[in-house]
Amino acid sequence: MTVSAQNIDNLKAEAISIEERSPFQVVMMRFVKHRLAMVSLAVMIVIFIITIMAPYITSFKVDELNVNNYFVPFGTVDEATGRVHYLGTDNIGRDYFSRLIYAGRISLSVALLSVLISETIGILVGAVSGFYGGWVDAILMRFVEFMLSIPQLPLLLIISSMLLRNENLIPIPEAVLNFVGKIMLLGPKDARNAILIVIILAGFGWLSSATLMRGTILSLREQTFVEASRSLGATDVWIIFKHMIPNAMAPIIVDASLGLAGFVIYEAALAFLGFGIQDPIPTWGNMLSATQQYMFDKPWLPLVPGLPIFICSLAFNYIGDGLRDALDPRLKL
């Protein structure tokens, strides 16, 4: 085997192209090679597209009752209008397929919003705590540890029942209600219910991301480039936003994708226990919850909303794993 001139040229071209890659491109390259994560990403994209298209692919309204047609089997045709109940109907005759799609939209939006809010709070609190250290750090971290040491599910139940019963306990601006309502295809009143659940989930979700962020910041704080920036006259805010947070994003991105899986499950758990988003708003969790009495006679009823919960949490976990591998600087491909 000899190395031809052509090969050497190829090598050179490759060497040059490697040099031209930005860190983002390198991460993308590694992520694409993670097969399970790519499949999961594809599955999630399909699920997102389906839920975004909800009004166009469903023919029934979520709260459209047909009391004479409860528990009809898959694929039953509605005789009056000729529409098809692809997944049958539930115990009060609502189209199961429509509810499933709309529920997906709501459950996923709740998870996404919760992740956005909890990661933002976590990043800020963790950055301040790690950067300033001293008593600021001590107070913030003791608070976080205190919160983390409380059994979460009972506390979540208490808080959510408290918030759901006293609607005006937390005032939510009209604009937010309308915005969230538009995302989830809900009226302002129902949107309030969803937002409360987001607040509850994010209110606990930020704790772990704050500790994660703090750890990363602690190690970054001692880096010379931070000192260099200070010697240029940078303020603390500048250093945190320009140097700390961009360098601490890798674990946060991974945490966020794993957090999505966690929030999908947490939302379902709350709803299953009857403290989440309330019927008639459909979510995967309360659809599952509603089947409790019937699940031994009609086992497909819990499977229909249960399967997407399972698939989404699995997919988000795999995506998180893929991102973790791709963002790890010690792995060089």
**Contacting positions for other proteins (CB under 8 A):** 19, 22-23, 223-225, 227-235, 238, 242-243, 246-247
CB of 324 vs other proteins, minimal distance in Å: 18
Residue with smaller CB distance to other proteins, 12 or 189: 12
Residue with smaller CB distance to other proteins, 1 or 16: 16
| Closest listed residue to residue 322, CA positions, set 1, 74, 28, 88 | 28
Residues 6+ apart with CB under 8 A from 22: none
Beta bridge partners of 89: 95
Place of tokens 């949107």: 191
Residue with smaller CB distance to other proteins, 193 or 229: 229
Residue with smaller CB distance to other proteins, 212 or 315: 212
CB of 243 vs other proteins, minimal distance in Å: 5
CB of 214 vs other proteins, minimal distance in Å: 19
Sequence letter at residue 214: R
DSSP 3-state helix, strand, coil percentages of the chain (rounded to 5)? 75, 0, 25
Residue with smaller CB distance to other proteins, 151 or 233: 233
CB of 226 vs other proteins, minimal distance in Å: 8
CB of 2 vs other proteins, minimal distance in Å: 31
Residues 6+ apart with CB under 8 A from 105: 51, 52, 54, 183, 184, 185
CB of 133 vs other proteins, minimal distance in Å: 12
- φ, ψ of residue 111 to 5 degrees: the values are -65, -45
Residue with smaller CB distance to other proteins, 16 or 175: 16
Virtual torsion, Cα 149, 154, 155, 156, nearest 10 deg: 120
